[in-house]
Structure 1
């Protein structure tokens, strides 16, 4: 079953979604420099096969030059594109604020939940829990590497 078939009633028709994405990409080509657009397309392909598709978090792989290009504005554009690609309802970009694991993090949320403080608080907590788990995993792998005589 493809993504379009699994949406159920109420979601845009496949051709409507494709047309929205096409229009947005066309607009981006006019206002984003080619290197940034190339980075957006690479990251969108990477995200489209990541755990983020199922609502998880995912750390993008970028080199130093790409990080310089990945401004907050470009981050928001990536989220918009990701939402157009994966969501059947309208999503908006929300900044999660300054919590330790969400500092500067932007997320896509349903438009009707963007101003819901309880929803956003739970989202921040989930992000923090996932970040803490990744950090614990990293420390464990480093400890195993050290115990095995390898440099972490």
Structure 2
């Protein structure tokens, strides 16, 4: 735990201001649950060499792709495939799970992994809620 704290402090000094996302002007709230899920994905990759998205993320991609419009299905499927390829490539080259290096990756790699984790969190939400794109129902999830 001391190493984790030291790595965190090296990236974010104690005198740094807290991150406080501004509330959108339209009165909506930030997607705190999605941010939390993205952080969970990032932590998973700090402790394992899993090179593919979880099953719930893959099922979320499939659920989001189950739309009546062929171009939407193709776009979502291509996005899911690109997500898988980018994650595998980043995990293979950066090895965020490697205990011999700091948990936080080099800035550009950390930014890329964080963005991938956020995308995975969105697809996981599609799977768990059965909703995609502005609240429209997608294929009903099977929670087995």
Whose relative contact order is higher, 1 or 2, with alpha carbons under 8 Å and at least 6 apart? 2
Query: TM-score when scaled to structure 2?
Result: 0.29
Larger Rg, first or second structure (1 or 2) = 1
